[in-house]
Amino acid sequence: MAITRLTTEEFLLLAKEYPVLDVRSPGESKHAHIPGANNLPLFTDEERKVVGTAYKQESKEKAIKLGLTYFGVKMVAMVEEAESIVNRWQLTDDRKRQANQSTNEKVVLVHCWRGGMRSAGVAWLLDLYGFKVYSLIGGYKAYRKWVLAQFNKEYPIRIIGGYTGSGKTEVLQSLAKKGETIIDLEALACHKGSTFGSLGQPEQPSQEMFENLLGAELKKITDKPSPPVIWLEDESQRIGLVNIPTPFFGHMRTKKVYFLNIPFEQRLNFIVSTYGQFEKDTLLNAIMRVKKRLGGLETKTAINYLIEDNIKECFAVLLHYYDKYYLKGLHNRENFSSLFHKIDIAAVADEANASMLLTCAQEEKIS
């Protein structure tokens, strides 16, 4: 067999059908990787450091010899792990399993950091064993260049706006159930945006991994024959510890905002039902994170309500702050008046509000 080298676009297209093997070190892969890739490291983090130091301080030949020393004892284990990954991949999809059983062909896609010696070594081994191997030209570095390029493109976007507690995320998910195309930025970021946004959420991805995830979502949409309108929730550029890429965020700010105008009391009840069950210490720490912006008096008032078990009044203080903060950001946008479409709604109700949103968008399109 021969190893076939692919461009990033070709590699990602084929990655829909076959497993991707990321042969970088565990630390590199953990920091950020191609979504869905399997880490099959040629070197441990320490081994990579040793080989890299030898390359820089001694010679390329010395580094290669060290690398071969580490590689040699791992060959059998790497082949067996690659087989296991292929088997698991096939079992996740009957169509893939049947297709591969009919040809009895084991297919993998391999990449390292720059498409150099690490991926070449593993590709050689797997090819020798009988795999059909595809490698990524330029490696993960080329993939990252591709990801960043996605954020400079134009996309048909509609924005769901609304004060904190409007159930925007729930409306977004209801739109998906109705067949609309969405990207849930908060789900990708593992954070709901406010000071309480990390509560009940898994660890946030790195900035780089967040970008990779967003790039993958955009690719799923643009791969469709007729790319549909994308619904997004209105966000600040920063979501917890990660930022929406600046070009994409700038593009979002030029799009129409469908603002769900829901009464304060309804939103407050929704916030209490969502976050009220968390421990006092957890809520206290969240309040302290916005102390500087909230102000000393309001912070003290909110904390006193919390200590007195008056969760509703505590959250009311915070909600007033977030309403003012959101309204200021809304009015700071260019062409605010032409991009703002207010929809008066009586209550937080995801499915009903999603239907109302679609009706308004359709009426506006017709008119």
Write out the catalytic residue numbers. Answer: 112
Annotate 84-105 with three-state secondary structure.
HHHHHHHHCCHHHHHHHHHHCC
The Cα 291–Cα 328 span in angstroms is: 19
The Cα 330–Cα 236 span in angstroms is: 10
| 125: Cα separation from own chain's centroid | 33
The Cα 347–Cα 325 span in angstroms is: 22
Contact 187, 201 (CB under 8 A): no
The Cα 25–Cα 106 span in angstroms is: 24
Tell me 205's DSSP state: P
Helix (H) or strand (E) holding 364: helix 350-366
- Helices (runs of H) and strands (runs of E) counted in the chain: 19, 12
226: exposed, middle or buried (Cβ count in 10 Å: 0-12, 13-18, 19+): exposed
